[in-house]
A and B are shown apart, each in its own frame.
Chain A
């Protein structure tokens, strides 16, 4: 355990150096979720009002409703891209230096998670600040420090499992092209078959709603949304504990899978 912590710190240091030195990508990444917020959020906000759909969203302001989705989706995107440096480490052979050392295999996964979470929180608060300037307001009646804590907590729970899956993919995919293709293929359905844009109860019944119910993204969005907008935005009791446990189970499975894939990678 003591090794695990110091190993994780050593590896995380490397990712933080990357963040500092590759500032151009960092800045672009920081602004990326704002596009979602401005373009789709701005568009839908007017539409929801004009079309008299407000009741479908529990009569909360759509921008605030949707910001919860953007926050969770931002963390998801960072997390699924979390394996990318490892893909390049494998292509260029840097990973051999890591794997021929006694460094704990799970600390490889966890160091990426720590980095992704730190970066995501930075982004999340940036998004929140912009949404606030656009007129979004917390309207769930929950104290704001608690809302922020909830966003960070559920975001981190989502990021943990998703980063682990991304690492499993990184270690299993033979090239970065396949890595990108798989993510590009899965990311859009992941986003749309969730409660990001409309509440779960308003999704078409059948396979779509079924998948959305199981989508980890939904389990992060709903509690964040309930904290930001109030219970009516998720159609009733938000059951924080249930979402928390669901995400934790998902995390454990994903981490076990990725560590197994790393260990199996030895030909």
Chain B
């Protein structure tokens, strides 16, 4: 069995309300509430959760940038609290926001990152050349960062996170703000990276991204891991079906959805762009009572289809609310 690249146990982070800054006066915030995770070498763990779930706090705590209130983080077996510098050698961190030095070239960024991780100048230059090839930026090696496109900047960031060959790469929402092509390229890149044995921890609020890339997904809500497993496993665990209803015309505002919730066997109802969805344990009976409701209300459905649950439905089940809703 592969070694653990990351082991997080019972992490709690309460932000201090007295501190000044942009979060001043918000009262104590329990951003992490007993979060535990494991990433094996060569494995990609997707941390999937809506905005405010605590993903960034978790990533920053693992990257030694936030001090946890309690709990432990070990990177390749090294405790970050006890031996921070050894742990930092084993870790690559790519933040949510792009933050490059506008006056430095691509190569200078990579050399700097390598030097910050204690490689000698000549080693650093060699590694920078390797990484330039890896992130396909050879042609831009001597271009200043401010002249790069968003996708290229993100690749520089990625290169900086990898130049010292970390055991664990921590990525906080790496494709937010990227165009579709760059996003696809990054996804391909991450698939390739796993083969090198690097453990990857990837925070995302994109279900598609989590599903596509993750060996395992940890569904995080309110600072805790609510479920963890391979995407297929999680979906299989979530029994039942989903009825997708596409209506003729707009969804009426007259409590129709409230009534739909009372349909036989219905567990949850969510509004969609052109209708709604009903999660159910008893598809056939729900279907029958749904048809009756539509008739009673004089509404026509353009289509009613069954589908298997997605990760979104898994989230709905564990969190008791829609993925895109803010927590209360």
Could you tell me which A residues sit within 8 Å of B by CB distance? 3, 6-7, 9-11, 13-14, 17-18, 21-22, 92-94, 96-103, 174, 266-267
Contact = CB atoms under 8 A, between A and B. Distances in A.
Contact of A10 (B84, B100, B116): B116
B89 A14 contact: no
B104 interface: yes
Nearest to A20: B103
6 contacts: A3-B118, A6-B115, A6-B118, A14-B108, A98-B116, A267-B66
Given A103-B116, A267-B15, A17 B91 contact: no
A14 B124 CA distance: 14
B183 interface: no
Given A101-B113, A266-B67, 19 more contacts: A6-B115, A6-B120, A10-B115, A10-B116, A11-B116, A14-B104, A93-B99, A94-B100, A96-B99, A97-B116, A97-B160, A100-B65, A101-B116, A102-B84, A174-B21, A174-B22, A267-B15, A267-B66, A267-B67
B290 to A, nearest CB: 49
Closest 8 CB pairs of A and B: A10-B115, A93-B99, A101-B116, A102-B85, A102-B88, A100-B93, A100-B63, A266-B67
B273 interface: no
Contacts of A22: 103
Contacts of B95: 93, 96-97
Nearest to B124: A10
Nearest to B20: A174
B19 interface: yes
A6 B119 CA distance: 9
A92 B115 CA distance: 21
Contacts of B160: 97
A14 B112 contact: yes
A162 to B, nearest CB: 24
B117 A101 contact: yes
Interface residues of B, number: 36
B91 A100 contact: yes
Contacts of A3: 118
Contacts of A97: 93, 95, 99, 113, 116, 160
B147 to A, nearest CB: 13
Main secondary structure on A side of the interface with B: helix
B312 interface: no
B281 interface: no
Interface of B: 15-16, 19-22, 60, 63-67, 84-86, 88-89, 91, 93, 95, 97, 99-101, 103-104, 108, 112-113, 115-118, 120, 144, 160
A101 to B, nearest CB: 4
A102 B64 CA distance: 10
Given A6-B120, A10-B116, A96 B93 contact: yes
A10 B99 contact: no
Main secondary structure on B side of the interface with A: loop
B103 A100 contact: no
Contacts of B93: 96-97, 100
Contacts of B65: 96, 99-100, 266
Chain A CB within 10 Å, residue with most, of B22, B64, B108 = B64
Contacts of A14: 101, 104, 108, 112
B112 A10 contact: yes
Contacts of B117: 101-102
A98 B116 CA distance: 7
Chain B CB within 10 Å, residue with most, of A98, A101, A102, A266 = A101
A17 B111 CA distance: 13
A10 B110 CA distance: 12
Given A102-B117, A102-B118, A96 B63 contact: yes
Contacts of B100: 94
B118 A94 contact: no
Contact of A267 (B16, B22, B112, B144): B16
Contacts of A98: 116
Contacts of B103: 17-18, 21-22
A98 B64 CA distance: 11
B176 to A, nearest CB: 14
A101 B160 CA distance: 11
A17 B108 CA distance: 9
A94 B64 contact: no
B256 to A, nearest CB: 46
B284 to A, nearest CB: 53
A158 B286 CA distance: 80
A174 to B, nearest CB: 5
